[in-house]
Chain A
Amino acid sequence: MEAQKVDMFMISNAKFFESHQIPIIRDRLISIDDSKWVQISTIQFKDPTLSIVLSVIVGSFGVDRFVIGDTGLGIGKLLTCGGLGIWTIVDWFLIMGATREKNMEMLQRFLF
């Protein structure tokens, strides 16, 4: 794909990914076919800011995990009062990274 398009994508979507993944994504996007552009540019990524807000407010019900698609872990959190409160607090620090990883998984389905 054209470098200009890719850079535009990177600027508007950089916050959804881990910083170390960004160069890899950029290289990969440049090398793939132009026909995938429509699909890639319309993926709905999960916002890490939203997940940290949810994690702080309703984290002990596992809502943050449900939202990013970790349904199993969400149920685990819900059933155990947020892992006796400990898991809730741990997730305040993990959830943004987990959201970015989920976004990367989503994008990888189109990239590779």
Chain B
Amino acid sequence: MGLTRNRLYIFLGLSCLAGYIWLFINSKYSDDEVVVCLFKHVTGVPCPSCGSTRSVLYFFNGEIFSSLYWNPMGLIVAAIMLLVPFWIAFDVILKRDTLFRFYKNAEKIFQKRWVAIPAIMLIIGNWIWNIIKGV
């Protein structure tokens, strides 16, 4: 059961769809906050990606600085959510596998130590910031 092009595209497509549904629900009922994060439920401390929903919502409302404040990782999520559906459509229509090859290459890059260690440091830094902010 290796990862094939079609599996990846279906998975990414469904993830994006789920993401948009999640955003829609959150933008409709923004008053009562729903916490789904297992880590936050168990420990009471926010996890590194807590605040991403608010961040993405602010991003789509054009408030980049609020978005950065709530969680910089939200910007990455928003970029992926904007880009991936078009990329999948492009690949499916033209019967190509550019996204699949990009994904495989990105995996290889992130497995390199000099990329992985700074990335982990950034995430830990973001986590500390999240805890201080009390997201």
Q: Chain A interface (Cβ within 8 Å of chain B)?
A: 60-61, 69-72, 75-76, 78-85, 88-89, 101, 105
Contact = CB atoms under 8 A, between A and B. Distances in A.
B37 interface: yes
A101 B39 CA distance: 28
Q: How big is chain B's contact interface, by range?
A: 20 to 34
A79 B38 contact: no
Closest 4 CB pairs of A and B: A71-B107, A81-B37, A84-B36, A85-B38
Main secondary structure of the interface of B (DSSP, over half): helix
Contacts of A82: 37-39
Main secondary structure of the interface of A (DSSP, over half): helix
Contacts of A88: 38
Contacts of A101: 1-2
Nearest to B80: A79
Given A71-B111, A88-B38, A105-B2, A80 B77 contact: yes
A60 B47 contact: yes
